[in-house]
Chain A
Amino acid sequence: MCCLLPWVMAKRQGTKEPGGEASWDSGGKVLRLQGPFTVRSGADPFPPPPGDPGDAALRVDGAGISQWDSLLVERLGGLADEAAGKGFSLEWQDLPAGVEDLLEERNRITAEARAAGAGPETPGEADPGAPPRKSLLQTVGRTTEEVAERELSLPLFLGQTVLSVGRLLRGRAVFQGRDFLEVLWECSGRALPIVLLISFLTGLIFAFIGATQLQRFGAEIFVPPLVSLAMFREMGALMTGIILSGRTGSAFAARIGSMKANDELNALQTMGVSPFDFIVLPRLLALVLLMPLLGFLASWAGVMGGFLMSVSFLGLTPATYVTQTAQSLDLANFLIGPVKSVVFGALIALIGCQQGMAAGASASSVGRAATSAVVQAITWIIVADALFAILMNLYGS
């Protein structure tokens, strides 16, 4: 589809004037070209010589050509190729000046390309730019190999990060305070409004969903615990994690990817600085510190959302809402959110940095790294959340 689109657009924009026409004269010996033969005007393909020309000598009469460009050269060249294949000969007559030179040039480069393609391969001269076409089986195998390689680099990355954290604890890491502060600000001041808004609305939505069901039993009084438990145990951390994956994880990947493209990572290495100390560590620490805080505030915003809905639509008094909420939240429920947030924060930072470091050195691969950082971070956050749910179910808290 995507390859058709430009063609469709070109068709629409194309000029209305008709392209040139080619027709064989009555004897079938002379091909008369009439009108413009340009890429813009377009022209129908030359009709094949009528009947079997055998080894006859055919003529192309170009006296009527009004305009021409590479389209004409390509068409004539194609005809010449056909002539060579079928054994008839061609001669040009009244072609515009320059066309014959271009035709010769075309034949030469075509022959060269053919010779290079079919020539015997000497070892050491194989062109790495032109890999042989792969079968489906090969493609599947290679892709599996590549994916395995990519995923296996993650444990290596984790190991390096652990070493780096160890160096930090011993005070030996070259740590960049400025990056740390920048990330702190980026994930706190700047991320807070959107995190609060989304969480507020999430709380509101939960209250609505809960209310429609609970009202049937006259149990609206359970809306506040429903909202507060959902926000503190699940949604606060989850929503914050998803938002930060989108705005921070991808930013990490893009930033580090472009640093890699600019040789900055190599420069660090030759300077004797571990890129993990210098780049991963500040980001990891900033997110691990900030995520619980953001998640906690997000949970409160959600409770506010539930409060607004319950008080204005369900007729609960503010006092009831507050006492109900307070009763439902014990210490365990307060702690679960921040613990999850720490894990989510670490996941976002590690995946963002890993994707950035694994990015290739081109602009498009930086974009891909950012995208896959978001997708992977969100996936892993949800997987981790599911694991938390199972664990907490097992231990009954």
Chain B
Amino acid sequence: MNGPTEQEKAAPEETPALAVESLTIGYGSKAIMAGIDFRLRRGEIFFILGGSGSGKSTLLKTLIGLIPPLKGKVSFFGQLFDGDDPRGQQALLQRTGVLYQGGALFSSMNLRENVALPLRIHTRLDEKTILALADYKLRLVELGMAGDRFPSEISGGMMKRAGLARALALDPEILFFDEPSAGLDPVTSHQLDETIRRLNHSLGTTVVVVSHELASIFALAERIVFLDAASRQQLEVGDPRTLRTDSPHATVREFLARGGDDSAKQEPPATPA
């Protein structure tokens, strides 16, 4: 388990963007993972790692309120994120954005309408402004020309970017990514990473990514949490570059070292000197 020092380092005086306290996740009565505990400071890029079946996706679903936690607390910006208070939960969700694995675009709408939907639902802006904002978000992910296209007419990488534009519609303070590189070729995946980095840099968005793409982890992650399927616990929270060599857990070291060389080639600054 992570030591308290790690948390203090991560959460200075300000309220954390996201705080997870001794969380148990799972479906129904079946717990998948227990004792998850970490805090994110604002503007951080944080990765949720773990092998297959370790509950990464379940954790993400719990964090965005799709399934209730079995135990423990989740809070955003110091406010409790609680399923018993749907209104409060919804208000917090509007400050977050989620990019689902396949983009989750609504197939009956073109890209512009997809991006405009959250604005239509949650704002009182006039039609012209909504469409202008939607086009602006599409340009942010380099899809400015594709607003009239339908999801069935674009590639997988474009779908993810359009999904990202929709996630950005309400200018969220936290963005969640579910396996952003899944199904993408290395180049497209790298471009998406760059987009994530740019958004984080320019808008100060806090970013939470579920992934096992090591290239992305070393390119982007400031800190990671590692979920271990065997012990059903989180093993580490911290900087992946130090954990790769210094983690007391062999599982974590192995996981991070497996692609160390590749990532070193792609991202020279990522290799510890």
Interface residues of A (CB under 8 A from B): 124-125, 128, 174, 176, 178-179, 182, 259, 262-264, 266-267, 269-273
Contact = CB atoms under 8 A, between A and B. Distances in A.
B53 A271 contact: no
Contacts of A262: 100, 102-105, 107
Nearest to A122: B230
Nearest to B32: A128
Interface string B5-40: 000000000000000000000000000000000000
Interface stretch (B115-123, B199-207, B246-254): B115-123
B229 to A, nearest CB: 9
A272 B90 contact: yes
B230 A125 contact: yes
Given A179-B108, A270-B65, A124 B98 contact: no
B100 A269 contact: no
Interface string B38-70: 000000000000000100000001001110000
Contacts of A267: 98, 100, 104, 106, 166
Interface of B: 53, 61, 64-66, 90, 93-94, 96, 98, 100-109, 117-118, 120-122, 166, 178, 230-232
A124 B231 contact: yes
A124 B90 CA distance: 35
A270 B83 CA distance: 12
A272 B94 contact: yes
A273 B104 contact: no
B104 A272 contact: no
A178 B104 contact: no
Which residue among B94, B96, B121, B178 has the maximum number of chain A CB atoms within 10 Å of its CB?
Answer: B121
Nearest to A128: B53
Contact of A124 (B94, B120, B230): B230
A266 B109 contact: no
A272 B94 CA distance: 8
Nearest to B65: A270
A176 B100 contact: no
Contacts of A182: 108
Nearest to A176: B108
Given A269-B66, A271-B117, A271-B118, A264 B104 contact: yes
A272 B93 contact: yes
Given A266-B100, A272-B94, A174 B66 contact: no
Contacts of B90: 272
A270 B230 contact: no
26 contacts: A125-B230, A128-B53, A174-B120, A178-B109, A182-B108, A259-B106, A259-B107, A262-B103, A262-B104, A263-B104, A264-B104, A266-B61, A266-B100, A267-B104, A267-B106, A267-B166, A270-B65, A270-B93, A270-B96, A270-B98, A271-B118, A272-B90, A272-B93, A272-B94, A272-B122, A273-B117
A271 B167 CA distance: 9
A27 B238 CA distance: 69
A179 B230 CA distance: 46
Given A263-B178, A270-B98, 17 more contacts: A124-B231, A174-B121, A178-B109, A182-B108, A262-B104, A263-B100, A264-B104, A264-B105, A266-B98, A266-B104, A269-B66, A271-B117, A272-B90, A272-B93, A272-B94, A272-B121, A272-B122
A99 to B, nearest CB: 32
Contacts of B94: 272
A271 B121 contact: yes
B261 to A, nearest CB: 27
Contacts of A269: 65-66
Contact of B101 (A125, A259, A263, A273): A263
A262 B183 CA distance: 13
Contacts of A174: 120-121
A272 B109 CA distance: 18
Contacts of A178: 108-109
Nearest to A272: B90
Please give me the 8 A-B residue pairs with the lowest Cβ-Cβ distance, nearest first.
A263-B100, A263-B104, A267-B104, A272-B90, A264-B104, A262-B102, A270-B64, A270-B98
Contact of B66 (A124, A264, A266): A266
Which residue among B101, B104, B117 has the maximum number of chain A CB atoms within 10 Å of its CB?
Answer: B104
Contacts of B104: 262-264, 266-267
B1 to A, nearest CB: 16
A129 to B, nearest CB: 8
A264 B178 CA distance: 13
Nearest to B91: A272
Contacts of B120: 174
B93 to A, nearest CB: 6
Contacts of B166: 267
B156 to A, nearest CB: 12
A264 B108 CA distance: 11
Nearest to A255: B107
B253 to A, nearest CB: 21
Contacts of B118: 271
Contacts of B232: 124
Contacts of B107: 259, 262, 264
B74 to A, nearest CB: 14
